[in-house]
Amino acid sequence: MPSRVPSYKPPAFGPPVDRHRAYNRDGRDPALLKLYSRVQWRKFRAMIKRERVLCERCRAEGRYVEGAEVHHKVDPRERPDLAFDPGNVELLCKACHSRETASQRG
């Protein structure tokens, strides 16, 4: 008799790093990739997360969920001048950001 129950391991699809690299290389818009890889964006994103902390949409509904994603209200491909404008971004939790991104893609 085994001393412990064997654990289930799902089949591997490759290391996550490889999947992310492939997505960035083939699936993302090069203009957005260029914007989001800049040091200026990382500092701006950190500032927004420090200042706002909670998901803005969840907080409006009375829930207190930590924000994780900085979301542009106006797409930076359409208006690059608003990419680093604090009034053009909102801090969202993963669920709200996924819902918003899915609704934009159709």
Give 60-81 pLDDT, tens digit per residue: 999 999 999 999 999 999 999 9
| Whole-number Å distance between alpha carbons of 26 and 23 | 5
**CB-count burial class (<10 Å; 0-12, 13-18, 19+) for 67:** buried
Give domain status of residue 98, yes or no: yes
Give domain status of residue 2, yes or no: no
pLDDT at 97 over 60: yes
Angle at 51 between CA 50 and CA 52, to 5 degrees: 100
Give domain status of residue 95, yes or no: yes
Give the count of domains, the chain: 1
pTM: 0.73
Angle at 48 between CA 67 and CA 51, to 5 degrees: 85
Give domain status of residue 8, yes or no: no
Give domain status of residue 3, yes or no: no
What is the domain range of residue 93? 16-105
| Digit-coded pLDDT (tens) for 24-73 | 777 778 888 889 889 999 999 999 999 999 999 999 999 999 999 999 99
Give domain status of residue 11, yes or no: no
